[in-house]
Amino acid sequence: MIREDMSSREIKTIYRELVQNYAVVFPSDPLGILNMHIGAYARHEWKAKEPAVLDLAWRNGVEIPQVKELIEKGKTRKEAILEASKNMQLKVSGTEVEKWLRELRKEKPRRVEVVAKPKVVEQVKTYEKPLEDAKAEIFGLPATPSTTLPEEGYPRRVAKYFIHGIAYSVIMTVLVFVWAVVTVLLVAVGSLIGLIIGFILFFTILGGLNCFLIDAIWSIPTRTAWTSLLAHGLALFFFLIIANIPAFLINLTEHSLATTMVLFIVYAFVDGFIAKNVAEMWKE
């Protein structure tokens, strides 16, 4: 049976492991960066520091049995974190944290799983602006200077646009054939109603595929309710049609294999850029 709250000892243990992870992953200023991440998550996503700590810990691979068990019982990650953090209060002094860091320095270097780091960094970078109260103490820690996360390199970002565009085009081409078969069956059964259902299905598939790719490539979670997917697909379809008008006109005047290949490569970047920016409109 899941307990309704976590004891101070349990949350302090989780927080300590999170501090230790940051000390390894961000050795130049672990507390400054951790404070900034917690503050950003607390302000823009969780509205409280305790679930923000649990979320960061979970993303960084810290084991939280209560959250894990709630997810296994069907809760979403957010629901599980909120329920686990009920009535929880974290109190940590700056002296304690400094002691943890001193103990860590005495230990042999250890390897920390950093799979979650890019996702956490990308999530924090999407927030509106640095915390105005960044100089205030967080969890009793000494005030730390504002730390700016390094921007993702331009070549890497452009490569992601290309991968996003190519992946979307290839997968969608396959899904269109499947959709066409399903739509024909729906029309055969329900005539006009079947056709309407077919188009709703088409736009939902468009939105769903883009949600999958934005999470897989850019680590940006988006809303996945069917109404959100439908609106997402409609918006994406509209912007892609507008963007592809020049390619259509070029193909009419200069139709050749070379032209088609060049346009395919160029529009992989264009489609990836559009798909990412449309998906961010439904960001969680």
- Residue 137 inside a domain? The answer is no
Quote the CA–CA distance of 226 and 232 in Å, as a whole number.
10
Q: Are residues 77 and 189 in the same domain?
A: no
Residues with Cβ < 8 Å from 238, sequence gap 6 or more? none
**pLDDT tens sequence across 205-232:** 999 999 999 989 988 888 889 999 999 9
Question: Tokens representing 174?
Answer: 């396959």
Give me the phi and psi of 98, to 5 degrees please. Answer: -60, -35
**pLDDT tens sequence across 120-152:** 444 444 443 444 344 333 333 333 444 444 445
Quote the CA–CA distance of 213 and 163 in Å, as a whole number.
9
Residues with Cβ < 8 Å from 9, sequence gap 6 or more? none
Q: 38 is in which domain, residue-wise?
A: 8-125
Predicted structure pTM score: 0.49
Domains of the chain: total: 2
Report whether 12 contacts 92 (CB < 8 A): yes
Cβ burial of 75 (10 Å; 0-12, 13-18, 19+) is middle
Residues with Cβ < 8 Å from 142, sequence gap 6 or more? 94
Q: Are residues 118 and 175 in the same domain?
A: no
Question: For residue 156, is pLDDT > 50?
Answer: yes
**pLDDT tens sequence across 23-50:** 777 777 777 777 788 777 777 776 677 7
- Residue 132 inside a domain? The answer is no
- Residue 70 inside a domain? The answer is yes
Give me the phi and psi of 4, to 5 degrees please. Answer: -75, -25
Report whether 104 contacts 20 (CB < 8 A): yes
Q: Are residues 76 and 174 in the same domain?
A: no
